[in-house]
Amino acid sequence: MKETRILLTGANGQIGTALTKALRNIHGKENVIATDITEPKQENYPFDFIDILNKTRLREYVGDYKVTQIYHLAAILSANGEVNPRKTWEVNLNGLLSILDCAKDFELDKIFFPSTIAVYGRSTPRQFTPQHTSLEPETVYGMSKLSGELWCNYYYKRYGIDVRSLRYPGIIGYDSIPSGGTTDYAVEMFHAAIADQPYECFLKEDTFLPMMYMPDAIEATIKMMESPKEKIKIRSSYNLSAMSFSPAQLKNQILNYYPNLKVSYKPDFRQDIASSWSESIDDTRAQQDWGWKSKFDIHKMTIDMIENLKSEK
């Protein structure tokens, strides 16, 4: 039997940092290779530089290290994506196509592709958004991820590639500070509270968005990736849900522990992005097909975030 050897792209990012740790706990440190275009902020061995746009290096690496699975996290997120739309399309879509070609040519076992709530648009039902629905994203990030979902489904059907995908909500975690996204305000508000600083939120106080605590996101990813192949019936991307809240509701939760927290609201271009996304998600198919169930609501997440951020201080 082939030994499992996993390669992560974009491994220094918010999710990559936590997912690399979790996969190393399961498969052993040496069998999980972290790659990115930036220096890791903390010890991350084995690590190497791979720019997802360098197809030749990617293919050499996958061949040389006998990689069997790729978790393809490298991407440019929603807010940063609007700064350079063509580059975002190139990184997010061409990067994925290179990964899918590797999977085909090197006969890899499995691929993970993270999609996002950014695939929804203003014509999508905003409450309890169904799995199959109108998808007319307005950001280049959402467009690239939606096209990516369709390519994943195509490679599954045409070439039998075992590619699996989740539409992550906004992810909240304590391991690293997110940047370049529209849901980043939530993590930023926690850091401001712990540092005893006022926080200026770039979204309006009543903007509801689907959110998820990092441990739930990691558990969903690993649970789906370890499920038997026949249980994965959706090969574009699964809706995934945990909680939905507004900046004002998050502030009220944090005030229970940091009563001096001051939050002001100064919406910028990210408000328009947030307003085009869904407020809550129906993830019944993920529950039915491979047994997904989230553990953290806003209350449990707030307690755990604060405990972890305080212990790191």
Q: Active-site residue numbers?
A: 141
- 170 makes contact with ligand AKB (CB under 6 A): yes
Q: Which of 88, 144, 182, 241 touches ligand AKB (CB under 6 A)?
A: 182
The site for ligand AKB, by CB under 6 A, has a size of 10
- 15 makes contact with ligand NAD (CB under 6 A): yes
Report residue 130 as tokens. Answer: 């169904």
To the nearest 10°, report the CA torsion of 127, 205, 192, 13. Answer: 30
Q: Which of 116, 124, 144, 237 touches ligand AKB (CB under 6 A)?
A: 116
- 12 makes contact with ligand NAD (CB under 6 A): yes
58 or 254: CB nearest ligand NAD = 58
User: Which residue's beta carbon is nearest to the bound ligand NAD?
Assistant: 13
- 137 makes contact with ligand NAD (CB under 6 A): no
Site string for ligand NAD, 66-105 (x = CB under 6 A): -------xxxxx-------------x--------------
- 124 makes contact with ligand NAD (CB under 6 A): no
> Helices (DSSP H) in 83-169: which residue ranges?
85-89, 95-105, 140-159
The DSSP annotation for 2-32 comes to PPP-EEEESTTSHHHHHHHHHHHHHH-GGGE
User: Which residue's beta carbon is nearest to the bound ligand AKB?
Assistant: 181
- Least distance between ligand AKB and beta carbon 183 (Å): 4
CA distance linking residue 191 with residue 10, whole number of Å: 23
β 170-172/69-72 pair status: unpaired
Q: Classify burial at 100, counting beta carbons within 10 Å of its beta carbon; exposed 0-12, middle 13-18, buried 19 or more.
A: buried
Contacts of residue 58, defined as CB under 8 A and 6 or more positions apart, other chains included, come to: 50, 52, 98, 99, 102
Q: State yes or no: cis peptide before 46, omega within 30 of 0.
A: yes
- 183 makes contact with ligand AKB (CB under 6 A): yes
Which residues contact ligand AKB by CB under 6 A? 77-78, 116-118, 141, 170, 181-183
